[in-house]
Amino acid sequence: MKIKIMGSPHCTMLAGPKQLSLLFGMLCCLSLATHGHAQERKVEVEQDSVLPIDLLEVIVISSHKKKLEHNAHTKPLSTLDEYLEASQKVNMIKRGAYAWEPVLNDMSSERLAITIDGMHILGACTDKMDPITSYVDVSNLSEAHVSSGQQGAEYGNTIGGAIDLKVEKSNFRPTDWVGSVEMGGESGNNAQIIGGELNYSNERFYFDTDVIYRKSENYTAGGGEEVLFSQFEKYNVSANAGYKFSDDQKLSASIIFDEAQDVGYPALAMDVSLARAFIGSVSWLQNDFLGRFTDWETKLYANTITHIMDDTQRPSVPIHMDMPGWSDTYGYFSQTKWKNERHQVLLKLDGYYNRSLAEMTMYPNDPNENEMFMLTWPDVRTFNSGFYAGDVIQLKGSSIKLATRLTVQNFNVADEFGLNSLRIFYPEMAQHQTRFLKSVSAQYQTNLKSWHFNGGLSYGDRAPSVSEGFGFYLFNSFDNHDYIGDPDLKNEKALEGNAKIAFKKADFSLGLEGNYFHMTDYIIGEIDPILSVMTIGADGVKIYKNLENADLYNVSFDGEYKILPALKWWGVVSYHRGTDQEGRNLPFISPFAYGSNVRYSHKTFTGTLAMRGAGQQVNFNPEFGEDKTDAYTVFSLTLGKQFSFGLDELYVKLGVENIFDAYYSTYSDWKNIPRMGRNFFATVSYAIN
């Protein structure tokens, strides 16, 4: 399935409130009301003619195939988080307006492999305030590949799946010089967005640059309530270059610099004064390799992240603290393909070395007392080295994909101070440890006239994350507990089954899709009543433990109907459930959810009316800070029109999200912070040919 969310165009203008009115004046359209912020993204679903073997969802962020690539998307220049959220499979945990945490199959960061062009990047925040998706922007990316469960094993050790963000490159297309300027804004949070790119590309050489800057103030929830500390400011600069040594050999390099400042997290007690990433890579690509092996690609990469949490902007805190964190990763992968009539083999070697260090300094209310200092991540060095092999075997009218990943992962607690800290809890704890991880999967697909079937079985495991293994008094404001890692945790394992059956005719299609994860040694924090809280006001201390087992399943049913040649209806309902061996609800499991839209598309005009909602969160778990989140339904409307001026093209898009200004939050909103209320937005894009 291909979900086209939007393309970042060569030239987009998304106007801010002021610019908007000017622009609209000029365009003799619309006076803009104020307010709201968009929640709902509309998703245009395009069925590929052939159902892919992977249960893969591709979120198109920008494409070079069209001059105006983003016109399928409701809100160009929205954040990457909004793009991801628009996908059918990905949900986002929100702690504010910025740096949402992707959730796939009801699993988040530590159970997913999230990569950028195959590069591993690990966030530097102990409180998951910087998922790596926050260190790139739509200006950098062309698409996001979402693979469910062990289908994502190509990108790393995972349980829930993988999200690989593909960097946008001119890639030797003979486009010569291409430039654009983008400007935008939203009224609901006074967002201002300014971006631009300048690319040069020919068949031998390309050089791409882009820059984007965003600044938002506090947003307004439904009903007009201002959500304090939801502001953010960020900019992102990137450059890519490639050189062809011969038709067969290409060298390319990429660097992304991303910096966010003054990021508010309304759901948390702390904000972020700085989140900065340098992400760089060099790749070598050659079509011919050894014998029948082709498409040999080798990439070396490095990235470094600095994340500074502080609470100096908060008016009343029991104690002021700074919590900086650093994460540096160095890695590589090298992969090649092998093909004949029946087999398509991908072999990949990969590895990375990560250093995660985080500290906390608390400033006593009595200024004569010494600062309180602890290492919350004790300089954990992770060395992960893996081998992946996958083979797609063509059978008669069907195909089967077999894949495996084998990984060795070492942990080394490099800091003596941190090691001694953890040894308070685990006196016998070793400084080094080695784990072996494995994944095997088989996926079968077949087509029978109008019917498509896709099903698979797999097994995979993962090592504990740095926080789960080595975290030291990490405060989780959701359940109001301090968390302590356990270095002796067992690997978490998942046996997964998935199936999809689809029926497709020219005018309509139906699909039923489901997956089931039976997990053993599921890692989760459990209360230790003996321990004394560190964070003032916390309710208790939790230690990460292995649950005996846990079961998760996700089912969705979607349909599409072409009412008229220009009018299409689409709808989806989904159900999710997660429990442990005692039938206890797992946290962050979506309630019954649904979405639907009607899309009109005729010549240069498009319009979409969309609805999205969820039932009441019946299966919640107060132990993890959850409550019965209410049901909600929100609507949005967008209209787009394309104009031509000679070779240049102008595209205007107007929309309103949360039309009825509903005050609501979802199961994945941290501490029930409300989402944005009614939001008008407009986009003007200009492509210079």
Q: For the CB of residue 312, give the shortest distance to another protein in the complex, in Å.
A: 18
Residue 598 touching another protein (CB under 8 A):
no
Q: Which amino acid is at 575?
A: Y
Q: Which of 195, 197, 203 is CA-nearest to residue 175?
A: 203
**Nearer to another protein (CB atom), residue 349 or residue 374:** 374
CB 614 within 8 A of CB 593: yes
In the bound state with another protein, the residue whose beta carbon lies nearer, of 368 and 644, is 368
The nearer residue to another protein, 536 or 688, going by C-beta atoms, is 536
In one-letter notation, the amino acid at residue 314 is R
Binding region for another protein (CB under 8 A) out of 416-424, 440-448, 576-584, 593-601:
416-424
When binding is defined by CB under 8 A, the residue of 26, 28, 50, 530 that contacts another protein is 530
When asked if residue 425 is in the footprint of another protein (CB under 8 A), the reply is: yes
* Residue 527 binds another protein (CB under 8 A): no
Q: Does position 473 bind another protein by CB under 8 A?
A: yes
Among 33, 430, 536, 618, binds another protein (CB under 8 A): 536
- Beta strand 481-484 pairing with 567-580: unpaired
3-class SS at 388? strand
DSSP states along 245-258: EETTEEEEEEEEEE
Q: Please name the amino acid found at residue 618.
A: V
Give the integer Cα–Cα distance in Å for 544 and 524. Answer: 5
Among 22, 33, 228, 424, binds another protein (CB under 8 A): 424
Tokens of 267: 């759901």
Total residues interacting with another protein, rule: CB under 8 A: 30
CB atoms near residue 505 (< 10 Å): 10
Q: What are the structure tokens assigned to 222, written together? A: 């439904």
* Residue 538 C-beta: closest distance to another protein, Å: 8
Residue 371 as a binder of another protein (CB under 8 A): the answer is: yes
Give CA separation, 499 vs 392, 442, 514, in Å. 17, 12, 6
* Residue ranges with strand state E in 581-668: 593-602, 605-614, 632-645, 648-657
For residues 681 and 323, what is the distance between their CA atoms, to the nearest angstrom? 36
Our finding on whether 270 is near another protein (CB under 8 A) is no
Supply the minimum distance, in Å, between the C-beta of residue 130 and another protein.
23
Residue with the two structure tokens 């894009």: 685
Which helix (H) or strand (E) is 418 found in, with range? helix 416-423
Piece of the chain touching another protein by CB under 8 A; list 197-205, 219-227, 372-380, 449-457: 372-380
Which range of residues in 364-372, 405-413, 461-469, 631-639 is near another protein by CB under 8 A? 364-372
- For another protein, give the closer residue by CB, 49 or 368: 368
Select the residue interacting with another protein from 65, 365, 448, 565 (CB under 8 A).
365
Query: What are the residues whose beta carbons fall under 8 Å from the beta carbon of 544, sequence distance 6 or more?
Result: 464, 467, 468, 469, 471, 483, 484, 485, 486, 489, 523, 524, 525, 526
Q: Which of residues 453-472 bind another protein (CB under 8 A)?
A: 472
In the set 282, 347, 440, 531, which binds another protein (CB under 8 A)?
531
Stretch that binds another protein, among 90-98, 277-285, 357-365, 406-414 (CB under 8 A): 357-365
Say if residues 494 and 548 touch (Cβ distance below 8 Å): no
Q: Given the complex with another protein, which of 362 and 654 has the nearer CB atom?
A: 362
Residue 537 sits in the site that holds another protein (CB under 8 A): yes
- Smallest distance from the beta carbon of 484 to another protein, in angstroms? 9
Phi, psi of 139 (to 5 degrees): -65, -25
> C-beta of 285: minimal distance to another protein in Å?
48
Q: What is the largest CA-CA distance in the chain?
A: 79
Residue 270 C-beta: closest distance to another protein, Å: 16
Joined tokens for residue 309: 């949490």
Residue from 251, 533, 631, 637 touching another protein (CB under 8 A): that is: 533
Contact region with another protein (CB under 8 A), list: 5-13, 32-40, 149-157, 365-373: 365-373
Q: Is 532 in the site for another protein (CB under 8 A)?
A: yes
- We find the least distance from the C-beta atom of residue 361 to another protein, in angstroms, to be 9
Count of beta carbons in the 10 Å neighbourhood of residue 47: 13
Examine residue 366 and tell whether it contacts another protein (CB under 8 A): yes
- State in angstroms the smallest separation of the CB of 370 from another protein: 5
Q: How far is the CB of 379 from another protein (least distance, A)?
A: 14
CB of 474 to another protein, least distance (A): 13
Task: Candidates 198, 251, 282, 374: give the one binding another protein (CB under 8 A).
Answer: 374
Q: Binding of another protein at residue 534 (CB under 8 A)? A: yes
Nearest approach, Cβ of residue 228 and another protein (Å): 25
Dihedral sign for Cα atoms in the order 303, 306, 307, 313: negative
Identity of the residue, 338 or 363, whose beta carbon is nearer to another protein in the bound complex = 363
For another protein, which is the closer residue by CB, 418 or 587?
418
563 binds another protein (CB under 8 A): no
Residue nearer to another protein on the CB measure, 374 or 631 = 374
Cβ proximity to another protein: between 203 and 371 the closer is 371
Backbone phi, psi, residue 153, to 5°: -65, -20
- By CB under 8 A, is residue 369 in contact with another protein? yes
The rounded Cα 430 to chain-centroid distance in angstroms is 34
Gap between the Cα atoms of 644 and 649, Å rounded? 5
Token pair for residue 196? 């631009």
Site for another protein in 70-109 (CB under 8 A): none
Distance (Å, rounded) from C-alpha 395 to C-alpha 499? 19
Give whole-number Cα distances, 557 to 160, 501, 553, in Å: 20, 10, 14
Alpha carbons 181 and 9: distance in angstroms, whole number: 10
Q: Are 323 and 309 in contact (CB under 8 A)?
A: yes
Rounded to a whole number of angstroms, the minimum distance from the CB of residue 543 to another protein is 10
Residue 319 is a binding residue for another protein (CB under 8 A): yes
Nearest to 1 by CA among 62, 63, 43: 43
Binding flag, residue 370, another protein (CB under 8 A):
yes
Amino acid at 553: Y
Name 309's bridge partners.
272, 323
Contacting range for another protein; rule: CB under 8 A; set: 85-93, 532-540, 553-561, 667-675 = 532-540
Can you tell me which of 373, 436, 451, 605 binds another protein, judged by CB under 8 A?
373
Closest contact distance (angstroms) between CB of 416 and another protein is 9
Residue type, 75: K
- By C-beta, is 365 or 644 nearer to another protein? 365
Ramachandran class of 217: left when φ > 0, alpha when ψ lies in -120 to 50, beta otherwise? beta
Binding site for another protein (CB under 8 A): 318-319, 360, 362, 364-366, 369-375, 417, 420-421, 423-425, 427, 472-473, 530-534, 536-537
